[in-house]
Chain A
Amino acid sequence: MSKPRLDDATGVETVGHEWDGIEELNNPLPRWWLWSFYACIVFAIGYSVVYPAIPMLDTATAGTFGWSSRGDLDKEMKAESVRTAAMRSELDQASIEQIATDPRLRRAAIDGGRAAFKVNCIQCHGNGAAGSVGYPNLNDDDWLWGGDAAAIHQTLVNGIRQPGDDATRMSMMPAFGRDGILTAPQVQDVVSHVRLIAGEEKPSASAQRGAELFTANCAVCHGANGEGSRAVGAPKLNDAIWLYGGDRKALTQTITNARYGVMPSWGNRLDPVTVKMLATYVHSLGGGEAAPAPAADPAAPVAPVAAAQ
């Protein structure tokens, strides 16, 4: 640091700092700059009084405005529930079938359902509702208990194998191998037959033997041709979709020990509107089916099912 001196060219005093011969002049700053600086200080004092500012041991000063980010969130959530209240009450009054046929209600229900799905369903069914082994893919056209909006809604409300819910549904597959109904070789024969009707294997002697066993043991629920039954939640076996895997090992496991999928009954956990929205959303994922024709009145002519819009 050199001694402050007067600069020859300008007559201004230097500050005394020098870097490789370059010195800094001590030119005064403009007055407006000073006033802006004072104004900032005043603002900062005011700010720290009215807003949370000074950190304490386990909290901070609250500020006289009482502002908090949680309070902001609370306000936003309240405003949001006021905003959606009208639509929610409409959805509440509409039946699940009415929602499915009214484009405006359906659009709103799908949006709400998408959000609720992310909170409640993705843990098992996955973020894209694609499921995984043991958890059904909700995008496809294969439904254990029915794929029209009302059927999906019922599954959601009562769940599957939900203890304490009288209306819950459960499939009852015997553990054919473990309980000694079929021997291990017989199980292999049934596996061969099931893979044959699903188009995974070519005809074989094992499959032929399995066909008889299938008729005797499985057809009562899964149907003579493995077409399944939605009434008892027996999966369709002659298609390309496998819930627990379609290779020999997985099928052997399934027939030996049986499978008992579980789903909570959401009717006890979520409000009715949210369950309706979820049902509509799941129905919209690409596999949703049209509502079945009204119960057949033999006298009335059968109306064609509403198809392409």
Chain B
Amino acid sequence: MNAHDPKMSADHSNEIGMYEKRKAVFPKATDGAFRRFKWLVMAVCLAIYWGTPWIRWDRGPYAPDQAVLIDMANRRFFMFNIEIWPHEFYFVAGLLIMAGIGLFLVTSVVGRAWCGYACPQTVWTDLFQHVDRLIDGDRNAQLRLQKAPWGPAKIARRALKWGIYLGISFATGGAWIFYFADAPTLQTEFWTGTAAPIAYATTFVLTMTTFIFGGFMREQVCIYMCPWPRIQTAMLDEKSLLVTYKDWRGEPRGSVKSALKAATPLGDCIDCLQCVAVCPTGIDIREGPQIGCITCALCIDACDKAMADVGRPRGLIDYCTLDDAEREKRGETSVPILKTVFRPRTLVYLGVWSGIGLALLFALGQRERMDISIAKDRNPEYVTLSDGSVRNAYTLKLRNMESRPRTFRIELRGLDNGTIYTDEMDSTAARRQLTVEVPSDTTKPVRVYALVPRGSAPAEFALVLVATDKEGGTDISETTFTTAQGNGQ
């Protein structure tokens, strides 16, 4: 990458190995506005991740009381007072589309903000780097320890650090399973060894991925494995805010001392390398925008501190668009921040994003908590009875999506001389309306026969499901009635 020194490579061109060893990164601790913002985001993200499964939500006696629950066995998704059935999965698809467009929106405004602040890989890597500092000390101490030969002290430190890594990883992997079952019950089962094997397998796999990705692979995941940075570079344009080293102000760089000796005035960059030292992916932002930059903005904090120390204005490294960079180079003023953020492209994204969101909310408010669907028997299509009347059979699926048992009425609409009865009734009791009890939160299959007297023609008709309780509600589904006449016999 850009880290290659051309001269070095030229000298050793015959010695390029097949594989490149990772250059370990030991980011220095820093403080500043962006570091504090990252602390906040980390705290919020981790609190949401670990806390959510433990929130309780009363849904009455027939439904689970966990606020967020993906109930695979019963094929239900609970989210506070929303309950999603498999046939309503388009809500989840809609949320995913919103997440996608939301990323486009954020990326077009502030570049790789997702990578820099909210991505789990970033959050957990950040967490593990704090562990590094806690156990091994800051950057220089870590570098020393890395170079030090293996001895009792180093082994002890490594064992302690990796143990903490493993503890965090286990807590991470273990928390995931609580989204899929009642958390307090599963926790008891987990520790008593009675939980489902899949719970242990999932915990193990996610513990190991957290341990390896967060503890050891770190920035390599972002640079080599993750497709999102590559896609994001296509989402950026010249009006997106990027972490930018303002080279027109900083160059030529040189220390304060060398500036005093220099014949021509030097730029503001004092070449203190603080921006490189704090970078969690180990790049030099002064080489310009690059794939390794996750825009965590820690170099802005570091540089601001250095500038304050030497009494120069802050913002040598700062969020800046490519357009503004050109302007500032020419000595013009930059575009106001609001104008940068609210431009046609971002407004279109915002419009689409909120449009889908509103449509989903509207659909959520409109949906009936009951449903009828009809599957007509195709084999045989019709049955002629001995008195010449014709019978068709249908399998009805009656969905009661409320968490209480309900009584429904099935009404026959159309098929003027027809009657209906179920397979649990005698055909002599056939009539135009039936009453069915459906237990809470279930789909009840009901087999219904429709009967018409001899000489009737094929017809289309509808079955209407009516809730007889005070909440009411109806759903209607159409089907066809077949007779021999329909087959040209």
| Chain A contact residues, CB within 8 Å of chain B | 6, 10-13, 26-34, 126-130, 137, 139-142, 199, 236, 239-241, 284, 286-287, 290, 307-309
Contacts and interface: CB of A to CB of B under 8 A. Distances in A.
A141 B16 contact: no
Contacts of A28: 16-20
Contact of A29 (B19, B391, B393, B425): B19
B379 A308 contact: no
B283 to A, nearest CB: 15
- The number of chain B residues touching the other chain, given as a range, is 35 or more
B31 interface: no
A127 B379 contact: yes
Contact of B423 (A127, A137, A241, A284): A284
B18 A140 contact: no
A140 B21 contact: no
A238 to B, nearest CB: 9
Given A32-B220, A240-B386, 20 more contacts: A11-B4, A11-B6, A11-B10, A12-B4, A28-B16, A28-B20, A29-B20, A30-B220, A33-B19, A126-B380, A127-B379, A130-B380, A137-B380, A139-B391, A142-B385, A236-B386, A240-B385, A241-B385, A307-B426, A307-B429
10 contacts: A10-B4, A11-B7, A30-B220, A33-B224, A34-B18, A128-B378, A130-B380, A236-B386, A240-B384, A240-B387
Interface in B1-59: 4-10, 13, 16-22
A284 B425 CA distance: 11
Contacts of A10: 4, 6, 9
A128 B386 contact: no
A240 B20 contact: no
A140 B391 CA distance: 9
Contacts of B385: 140-142, 240-241, 287
B478 to A, nearest CB: 22
A287 B449 CA distance: 11
Contacts of A130: 379-380, 383
Nearest to B454: A240
Nearest to B380: A130
Nearest to B6: A11
A30 B20 contact: yes
B388 interface: yes
Interface in B206-235: 217, 220, 224
B428 interface: yes
A236 B9 CA distance: 99
Nearest to A143: B386
B424 interface: yes
Contacts of B16: 12-13, 26, 28
Contacts, number: 106
Interface string B409-431: 00000000000000111111100
B377 interface: yes
A31 B393 contact: no
Contacts of A240: 384-388, 454
B485 to A, nearest CB: 13
What are the 3 tightest A-B residue pairs by CB atom distance, in nearest-first order? A128-B379, A11-B6, A130-B380
Given A126-B379, A236-B386, A241-B386, A34 B19 contact: yes
Interface of B: 4-10, 13, 16-22, 217, 220, 224, 377-380, 383-388, 391, 393, 423-429, 449, 454
B158 to A, nearest CB: 19
Contacts of B426: 290, 307-309
Contacts of A128: 377-380
A126 B224 CA distance: 60
Nearest to B421: A308
Given A128-B377, A236-B386, A31 B20 contact: yes
B15 to A, nearest CB: 10
A10 to B, nearest CB: 6
B224 A30 contact: yes
Contacts of A309: 424-426
B446 to A, nearest CB: 13
Contact of B22 (A31, A129, A141): A31
B386 A286 contact: no
Given A6-B10, A308-B426, A199 B388 contact: yes
Nearest to B391: A286
A31 B425 contact: no
A126 B9 CA distance: 78
B386 A239 contact: yes
Residue from the set A26, A137, A139, A309 with the largest chain B CB neighbour count within 10 Å: A139
B438 to A, nearest CB: 17
Nearest to B423: A284
A308 B384 contact: no
Contact of A30 (B9, B22, B377, B386): B22
Nearest to A198: B388
A6 B13 CA distance: 8
Contacts of B217: 32
Given A28-B16, A128-B379, A286-B383, A11 B428 contact: no
Nearest to A137: B383
Contacts of B19: 28-31, 33-34
A141 B16 CA distance: 86
B375 to A, nearest CB: 13
A267 to B, nearest CB: 27
Contacts of B4: 10-12
A13 B424 CA distance: 80
Contact of B387 (A139, A239, A287, A307): A239
B386 A11 contact: no
A307 B427 CA distance: 9
A33 B379 CA distance: 56
A32 B428 CA distance: 75
Contact of A308 (B20, B383, B386, B429): B429
B67 to A, nearest CB: 36
B424 A286 contact: no
Nearest to A228: B386
Nearest to B383: A139
Nearest to A10: B4
A103 to B, nearest CB: 8
Contacts of B388: 199, 239-240
Nearest to A103: B424
B292 to A, nearest CB: 13
Contacts of B423: 284, 286
A142 to B, nearest CB: 5
A185 B21 CA distance: 103
Given A140-B385, A240-B384, A6 B22 contact: no
